[in-house]
Amino acid sequence: MKQTKTKLLCLLIAVLMLLSLAACGKETATEPNLIKLGDCELLYKGACIMEDSNGNDAVVLTLDFTNNGKENASYLWSVDETVMQNGVELEVASIITNYDTLETVVDNQFKEVAPGATLEVKTAFVLSDTTSEIKATFEELLGSKNGTITIDPSTLKRETAANTEPEATLPAAAATGDALLDWWNGEWYGWWQMTGCSGYYENMEGRCWDVCGVIDISTDYTGTVTLWDEDYTRAEPMASASVSLNEAGTGEHGTLMSEGGWFTNVALEHSDWIVDPGIKTDGMMERENIICIDGWYEDGDDEYHYEIYLRPWGLRWDDAGEDSLPNSYEDWYLPLIEAGKPMPDAIGADAVGGDAPVGSDNTGAATTDPGQTASGGDGIVTEEQVQKGYVWMNEVNRNIFDATYDDIVAYFGVEGQFVKEEYSDHMKANYRYYKWISKDDDTHFIYVNFMEKSPGVYTVSAYNTSGFSGTEAIEKYLDIVKAEAAEANKAASANAEMKDFSVEIAQFAKDDVKVKIMTKIPVSGWSFDDGKRSLVENDDPTAFGAGAIQFEVRENVEKFDFYKDSFKNYKDIEDRVIGGITFRGRTYKYIGYEWIQYIAQLDDSRALSVGLRNLDCVPGTMPDIILNNMTFK
């Protein structure tokens, strides 16, 4: 018995020694708060709740960042972080700790750490609520190793971010006084190109467009980048990105990084854009005062790589060869900057007296003799027609870039005034330019560019305004033009020849869970896009900007709320019965699109979303008819 007790005592001591050894040091694999990410590691030390600069509750995580690499490294450029709550990714919080120096709680993220050294850093995110579980995932910026920390915010203490509040009467500074900010902030102009194109964009390989942009970064080194090319405007941009700026980089201008936003119709995320002007590669980037934004567009099977080259507005490109100049450099850009004019809100527009495009002066007189083969009239319409025409083209007609010259003539009721005809070596196409002019003021007009899509058939490729405010026209006439368009749609739909349509929509990653959708659609004018699971209001299912009815299947309706916090202008609307089932309705704007969405639980395992993207659903119009004929199986 004594021998047995002795053995048990020895075993107990051995176990205690092993447990003691296992508890020593943070290098042990059993340390639950240690995350190893390749050349660095993170030790989670705790968290608290602070109020951000906008008065929102934010969670602040404290970490030890250890650089295990061979070169200096910062947390910001080593770690990609994602913090989720209630299935939604939380936004980065701005928390000022010293209003005199504008220091923030995350400033240590920018500091470089020597090999083998450790630095305490903090990271902050705006909370959805202060009770639901938080999951923070940390991943190598250029790798795949990751780790996750789970936090219960209800257990966290509140702390104060700063001891002093900013004076409410302090005026905003006209200039930052920060060389880095002063270099980045302002207006930019250049061109962008598509390569590696596939799917819908396969035939656009190597094509280029002019692009304008505005960079606006605040003293906390966060801000926005807004970009628009020839088919967009400042008010309706091609890209809108939230960004962060870091002093670290290969040159004196630091590095810009995307943190969110969107490019055309796809979302941008942290580090999708990494812009370092100090990297001098062959080609365009050999020059000074230039940036390159490059990224990868992917939407189903439609893909391309894009490169956007920008230089400050007002800078001459004398150091660039002819092949490296933007398309409108000589005809549009140079005359504007030589006249000392600011950047207009649309490419081809004039900065003074409205939005007169390239090829015209501010009096509305043609600057090029008319061609011999182009038809045309005087283009004279009322002031109301001019402004309503712009609203119709810009806000209501979702297939405007498929509209022919005859379609535009039919809308205005008169032939346009012919301005010029030319062949574009760059676009390898013929172009014609027309104006529709206000009889009350000939400086008020719409200028429309038409490209020859097929022999003798010219479709809209761009349009601009002159002499009047497009924004004010939209505010004044949008509802009226929408109502007029709906009445025209009703008349056409009442006599439209219809055909049966059916499609099976599978739940994502579960091909055996499907919903069969049956309805009637017009014989022409609508088509189905398999990749986007959408009925498209165009014979071409890939038509840019076309309205569509998009279908999605999930296991329950709650899954459709995953991105709800990112919806803008959210509003619940009246329920709608579709196929004998009551669907809950709502409207919102998401990634640049206006949505009317109807969602319903079909049975225990299937929920369906019927989303109208950039489509109105006025009773009697074709979208309404399609929904009224819809049934499910």
pLDDT category, 154, cuts 50, 70, 90? Answer: confident
293 and 241, same structural domain?
Answer: yes
Give the H or E element holding residue 413. Answer: none
556 and 427, same structural domain?
Answer: no
Report the percentage of the chain scoring pLDDT > 70: 86
pLDDT category, 405, cuts 50, 70, 90? Answer: very high
Radius of gyration of the chain (CA): 29
DSSP codes joined into one string, 216-269:
EE-TTSEEEEEEEETT--SSS-SEEEEEEEES-SSSTT-EEEEEEEEETTEE--
Contact 244, 221 (CB under 8 A): yes
Residue 358 lies in a domain: no
Q: Whole-angstrom Cα distance, residue 266 to residue 241?
A: 11
Residue at a domain's end among 492, 522, 541: 492
Residue scoring higher pLDDT (265 or 285): 265
pLDDT for the residue 16: 43
500 and 480, same structural domain?
Answer: no
CATH number at residue 330: 2.40.128
Q: Whole-angstrom Cα distance, residue 172 to residue 166?
A: 12
500 and 485, same structural domain?
Answer: no
Residue 170 lies in a domain: no
561 and 488, same structural domain?
Answer: no
Residue 609 has pLDDT above 60, yes or no: yes
pLDDT category, 449, cuts 50, 70, 90? Answer: confident
Residue 356 has pLDDT above 50, yes or no: no
* Average pLDDT estimate for 482-501: 90
Best CA proximity match to 366, nearest among 351, 352, 381, 376: 376
500 and 484, same structural domain?
Answer: no
Residue 372 lies in a domain: no
186 and 118, same structural domain?
Answer: no
pLDDT for the residue 591: 59
Q: Whole-angstrom Cα distance, residue 46 to residue 628?
A: 55
Counting the structural domains of the chain, the total is 4
Which of 421-425, 457-461, 491-495 comes out lowest in average pLDDT?
421-425
Residue at a domain's end among 447, 465, 492: 492
Residue 346 lies in a domain: no
Residue at a domain's end among 282, 309, 338: 338
pLDDT for the residue 592: 60
Residue 14 has pLDDT above 50, yes or no: no
> pTM for the complete prediction?
0.43
485 and 510, same structural domain?
Answer: no
Say how many C-beta atoms besides its own lie within 10 A of residue 470's C-beta: 23
280 and 240, same structural domain?
Answer: yes
Which of 77-86, 101-110, 193-202, 569-578 comes out lowest in average pLDDT?
101-110
CATH number at residue 614: 2.60.120
* Average pLDDT estimate for 53-70: 88
Give the H or E element holding residue 385. Answer: helix 383-391
pLDDT for the residue 495: 87
Contact 601, 607 (CB under 8 A): yes
468 and 505, same structural domain?
Answer: no
Residue 24 lies in a domain: no
pLDDT category, 60, cuts 50, 70, 90? Answer: very high
DSSP codes joined into one string, 443-472:
T-EEEEEEEEEETTEEEEEEEEEESS-HHH
pLDDT category, 427, cuts 50, 70, 90? Answer: low
Per-residue pLDDT tens over the stretch 234-277: 877 899 888 889 888 788 888 999 988 889 888 888 889 999 88
* Average pLDDT estimate for 377-398: 91
pLDDT for the residue 100: 59
pLDDT for the residue 247: 86
Contact 443, 365 (CB under 8 A): no
Residue 161 lies in a domain: no
211 and 78, same structural domain?
Answer: no
Per-residue pLDDT tens over the stretch 73-94: 889 888 989 999 988 889 888 8
pLDDT for the residue 490: 87
User: Whole-number mean pLDDT of the chain?
Assistant: 82
pLDDT category, 584, cuts 50, 70, 90? Answer: very high
Q: Whole-angstrom Cα distance, residue 549 to residue 288?
A: 47
Q: Whole-angstrom Cα distance, residue 505 to residue 513?
A: 8
327 and 191, same structural domain?
Answer: yes
Residue 29 lies in a domain: no
CATH number at residue 138: 2.60.40.1240
Q: Structural domain of residue 290, as residue ranges? A: 179-338
Residue 43 lies in a domain: yes
Which of 367-381, 396-410, 459-473 comes out lowest in average pLDDT?
367-381
